[in-house]
Structure 1
Amino acid sequence: MTGAARRAGLALAVSAVAAALLAGCPLPQPLAEVARVDGGVISPPRIVAESAVPAETIIFVSQGCSAAVFSLGAEVEDVNTLEAVEARWFVDYQATLPQIPLSQPVPAGDDPANPIRAVVPYPFDAVAWNNGVPLHVVELVVSNAFKAITPTDARQNHSAQDGFETAVYRWVFQYVPAGDARGRCQ
């Protein structure tokens, strides 16, 4: 093999390695924008998944617990620090069963340049909900324009107005026997 052929082969190999490395490199992505009915766009609030507490999405709860209250929470990123953001909490949401969610404002911080907002924690009482069902799903839903809460339409309580979006984060609480090492009370 000649020196020129070796250099060409080496250059090709280096290019292939560089392409493979770049393919696995996540590039910063802009936040999604939602078209408004008036023609403008808005970046909807997003739940920062890395901030969720507890970090696990499946939590095993020991049936031997006399008390098991889990403080659930997360942060929301919203580039528009002037708009109102609302958090709604649902337990075992079903579109066919009306449920009035716990609704809370998610206030912006004191620094208008900081898009991160803390959601007020939700205390999920796993013992109170231990009604023979093997698991429960708790959902945090956030939006900057929810539909109005109604006692008769579960889908409306979980939905944003036309032209807006919701962001959802879920925790699954699964009950396990008292002796199961995976189970916990906090």
Structure 2
Amino acid sequence: MVDNKEIGDIAFVHADFAFYAMDRDLKGRVMNPELAGGSLLDVGIYPAFLSYILLGVPEEVLSTSSFHENGVEVQTSMIFKYPQAQAILYSGFNSKSSMKAEISGEKGVICIQPRWHEAQGYSVEKNNEIEVFPIPTEGRGYYYEIMEVNDCIRQGKLKSDLWSHQNSLDLIGILDLVRSQSGIVFPFER
């Protein structure tokens, strides 16, 4: 629908991914800075990924983070600026978010319901009418990633036809920029 411009050119993307993790073991992966813990690399990659696959590499990134007393980042807000669009993105461990995604264009809005990274469909609002598109998925959202990796391994591929090495470099480059702006530095990087 986006590629066919059914909602027009994208002007705004909103996506969030947060859950409460402040009660987790501080030595576990999620809350431990020694293990590259924090919300950005754990779940913030999902909103960043959505913006990237829809709009590409942003021309400007604005971000800010909050930290636990042990130094791990626990929430990050990001604005990605594109020539004709903006994305407002969020990740966090200190509260639960609605975990929905919205893709807005000049002609309509696509809404991917909670938990949008494993949604069972989406809705489109155009001309004051809402149409729902159910798309049942297998598993919990990671099923398709696992299947693609297994297919690539079976075929002896070093990269997927669906996701290039450049895509990976672009996405981690965006997250590294957010980390730099927000002061997210792990002890082993000092």
Q: TM-score band (shorter)?
A: under 0.3
Larger fraction in strand: 1
Larger fraction in helix: 2
